[in-house]
Structure 1
Amino acid sequence: MNYASKAPTPALVWPADVGDVPAEVFVRPDIFEAELETIFYGPYWHTVGHEAEIPNPGDFKTFDLGRVPLLIARGDDGQVRVFINACSHRQNQVETATCGHSKGFVCPYHRWTFKNDGSLLGCPGSEDFSPKFKKSEYGLKQVNMEIVAGLILVCLDDNPPDIDAYLDVGRENIEKTLGHEGGLKLLGYQKVRYACNWKVVMDNDGYHAPLLHTGFRLLGWQAGKGKQFYTPFTAGVASELSPGQASGGTLKDPSLIEFKDSAWDSYVTGIFPATIMVKHLDVFSVRFCVARSVDCTEIHYAYFAKNTDSEELEKHRVRQASNLLGPCGMISMEDAAIFARIQIASNARGTAIMQKGLKDLKTIPTEFYQNDETPNIPRWHDYRQIMGFPIEGEAQ
């Protein structure tokens, strides 16, 4: 499917300095609508699930890409497919459960029934249909899909980009985070709605981590040497944590922060526009993003364990995930407060200015260190080009 781009009105003019971002991109409803058409429904790959969420034939989950409902199912043949969650008859939403197991799907409106491979199984009264009606032509609409290290990615555009070129060197970080021999199993979810624009969530940086998150001091962590990377559609940081001298207190139960399975390394990888995956301590997680509105973003935190884990190690991963890195964890909870405050203040339509790691106001940086905010700059540059916003002072 192809969606026509909607140009925002009035047009937004982008500041000339490379580290400047106009805050109105977070609050203008017309810009949000244009993003849905241009980015979310355009020629870009979006992460909508992981194979471990639907491990068995007949398993399914639903997910919204912007406002487009999707049905992700593993057929009886073991194959994963992604469909538009709409009946091929009258476009009624077929499945409303968030996840489940089924041999097929029944549209309640006229009882059209589909197999879990998307093909149409039956429809009442078909003897009265047009003579040219063929069941084989009325299956659920399948969308473009790729699987990388278990991640299920979709593109709604009729001409999806090559997935290997799209991910580029980011694929290595994805595989280090999620590509474990023997595979992963789903532990569970935490789902949260942030009172902010989706780009506020994705604009988080390495600069804030040791400053905002007081939990780092409580836990006695120090940031080790690490570098961030950026490509047009992926970004991330690979680093090594170093245990340090705690200065903000101690935990009554230090086993919460033990490394029972992994080395002291960390990987955070983002896929444009709105996916984040994390390997931190003994936690493997993917944060799936649903852009609900201009000022509401839903994040589904999905947590995983290795299929080879003992029961004790699984429990340890659950405990770390929910208490440290989940939406209400010691570390991540402060992010939610900052997101809401940025959204509120952005209504003044000022300018967000990035400085940490910036060498030149007119040159987009290409080298980034762990606690820089400059990796956000090329991402904003690419976003501006995709959306077609002109730069201040340039011919329009």
Structure 2
Amino acid sequence: MTKTTSIPVKSITSAADMVMEDRVHKSLYSDPEIFEEELDKVFNHTWVWLAHESEIPDSGSYKTAKIGRQPVIVVRDRKGNIHVLQNRCRHRGATVCEKKHGKTKAFTCPYHGWGYGLDGSLRALPKPEEYENILDKAEFGLNSLRFETYQGMIFATLDDSIESLDSFLGGAKKWMDLFMKQSGGYPVQVLGDHRFRFPGNWKIQLENTTDAYHFPIVHKSFISSIDDQTAEVFDFLDGDGFVEDLGNGHSVMVMIPDLVDLEANLDDPIPERFQPLADELAKEGKSEAEIKRLVRAVGGSGFNLNLFPNVSCSMAFFRNLVPISVDETEIHHVAIGGKGAPAAFNQKRMRLHEHFQGPMGFGTPDDGEAWERVQHGSKAGTDGWIMVNRGMSRLSTSEDGNVKGAVCSETGMRAAYQQYKKMMAAEEKE
């Protein structure tokens, strides 16, 4: 049994010291100086998820996003190449794009009219004669950032010296491959998203997607809204699920092992709750094999994959967190389906998404209330530790050689915080 001991606050000298093996200090949620340090040491020096390639399908398609606090544009140029550009005019620093997403032929600064191509190059500026012999346009394009992709997921970094994305994702790639099977044999496509903010620290949300322990308590309203067969599927705390530390702060929480590989067990009977969908697909002329494949995929994968520091592939959607301030976080819930998949399939995906993750759904409001209470409670007292020790005495080793705990263990939280500790302990880079 792990013995817990009291650690006096006066012995803490840095944010890294506030992360122990089995607990983290509540100051990590509320100290504005620590938050500013996190933006630099964590978000400015790692791979940050920005978009899925399906969000920028055509030439001129773009999406605005943030790396920590820094605004960027993810855009596809006329040749189909992807660029990640700092959203800052090289003249006086105004943003050149404010819309969430769209399609354009160029970016023009609204302040003084400097115009940039889709690749970020400076193409035009008013009264160019005033810059004769003092400005080389080739040197004043929008700053391009290093980016890499895996399974259509676009990640970028402000630090050109860090390891490759492939190396950073490591053991998470296996689970990303499995997650992308949920589009029923069609390419994964973003169907839409909604955004909201909650009055709490970003790490509260980072913890949540790897926390099965709260599900039957916080989400009683959701469980009461579904049929008995579906409720049985979500009764997973005493099942064979697990949480696995995948390295570099990433983790996977498997809640429904039977739904890990959506291309397996395709001969199983169609669940009663999905029979209407199967009937509709049959009316569209789909073969029995394709119907079974689509029906098995429609509810999503049976696991949540947390990718440190800002995105999770959560059963049937992407959840992206954006730190706004020490006590405010923006959440993007990104619904996904299949490009070219039957309309009935994508519609069912959207209805399921709306039922739980949507702004009027059963899950998101309840989660938000819990997150807000954690932030509020962190202000109580002068000393306090957040416990992340559940399951530490019952760990095992996974088939991939990773630390593994029960589905309701806090193995994933500890994985994220140990990566956080490593990055926060790093010396300042020049």
TM-score (norm 1): 0.84
| Separation of aligned partners in 1, 2:104 and 2:425 | 44
Q: Which residue in 2 is equivalent to 1:41?
A: 44
* CA distance in 1: counterparts of 2:218 and 2:394, whole angstroms: 26
Q: Give per-residue Cα distances to partners, 1:250-309, cap 9 Å, x unaligned.
A: xxx966998962257512111111211123xxxx31112110000100011111111131
| 2:302 matched residue in structure 1 | 266
The correspondence for 2:325, drawn from 293, 298, 309, is 293
Corresponding letter in the other structure for 1:197 = N
1:110-125 pair list within 5 angstroms:
110-125=112-127
For 1:126, the equivalent position in structure 2 comes to: 128
Which one-letter code corresponds to 2:98 in the other structure?
T
Partner of 1:373: 410
**Offset, 1:387:** 1.2
Letter paired with 2:384: G
Letter paired with 1:56: D
Distance verdict in 2 for CA 1:139–1:276, change over 3 Å: same
1:229 aligns with 2:261: no
Change (3 A) 1:60 1:237: same
Asked if the contact 1:257/1:320 (under 8 Å) is kept, the reply is no
Q: Distance in 2 between matches of 1:66 and 1:238?
A: 28
- Alpha carbons of 1:51 and 1:182: their partners in 2 closer, same or farther (altered >3 Å)? same
Say if 2:201 is the partner of 1:197: yes
Higher strand share: 1
Partner amino acid, structure 2, of 1:238: V
Distance in 2 (CA, whole Å) between partners of 1:50 and 1:140 is: 22
Q: Give the unaligned 5+ runs of structure 1.
A: 1-8, 244-252, 390-396
Distance 1:257-1:201 versus aligned 2 partners, 3 A rule: farther
Letter in 2 for 1:273: P
**Paired residues of 1:166 and 1:233 also in contact (CA < 8 A):** no
Structure 1 residue 140 displacement after superposition: 1.0
Shift of 1:209: 2.1
In structure 2, the partner of 1:238 is: 254
Q: Tell me what 1:246 maps to.
A: none
Which residue in 1 is equivalent to 2:104?
Answer: 102
Report what 2:353 is aligned to: 321
Selected match of 1:275 from 283, 287, 311: 311
Cα RMSD, aligned residues only = 2.7
Deviation digits for residues 180-229 of structure 1 (CA, Å, limit 9, x no counterpart): 65422221111110110000111121222233321336532322422222
Q: Structure 1 residue 352 and structure 2 residue 414: aligned?
A: no
Mark the CA change 1:57 to 1:13 in structure 2 (over 3 Å): closer, same or farther: closer
Structure-2 residue corresponding to 1:216: 223
1:3 aligns to what?
none
Quick check: 1:327–1:336 contact (8 Å CA) kept in 2?
no
Q: Which amino acid is 2:390 matched to?
A: K
CA distance in 1, matches of 2:204, 2:250: 17
> Could you say which residue in structure 1 is the equivalent of 2:398?
none
Counterpart-to-counterpart distance in 2, 1:29 and 1:297: 13
Residues 234, 17 of structure 1: alpha-carbon distance in 2 compared, 3 angstrom cutoff:
closer
Q: Relative to structure 1, is the Cα distance of residues 106 and 218 closer, same or farther in structure 2, using a 3 angstrom cutoff?
A: closer
Going by fraction, where is helix more abundant, 1 or 2? 2
| Runs of 4+ residues deviating >3 angstroms | 9-17, 179-182, 216-219, 253-260
- Is the Cα–Cα contact under 8 Å of residues 209 and 371 in structure 1 kept in the other structure? no
Give the secondary-structure state (helix, strand or coil) at the position aligned to 2:21.
Answer: coil
Amino acid corresponding to residue 205 of structure 2 in structure 1? V
SS of 1:262 mapped into structure 2 = helix
The correspondence of residues 54-65 of structure 1 with structure 2, limited to 5 A, is 54-65=56-67
Does the Cα contact within 8 Å between 1:207 and 1:356 map onto a contact in 2? Answer: no
**Cα displacement (A) at 1:351:** 0.9
- Number of equivalences: 364
> What is aligned with 1:184?
188
Q: Percent identity?
A: 27
Q: What's the counterpart of residue 22 of structure 1? A: 25
CA contact (8 A) 2:305 2:314 kept: yes
Letter in 2 for 1:353: M
Distance 1:256 1:275, change over 3 A: farther
- AA partner of residue 90 (structure 1): R
Kindly provide the CA deviation profile for residues 78-130 of structure 1, in whole angstroms up to 9, marking residues without a partner as x: 11111000112222111111111101011122211111121111112222214
Q: Deviations over 1:126-147 (max 9, x none)?
A: 2221415322222111001011
Find the aligned partners of 2:276 and 2:322 in 1 and give their Cα distance: 30
SS in 2 for 1:268: strand
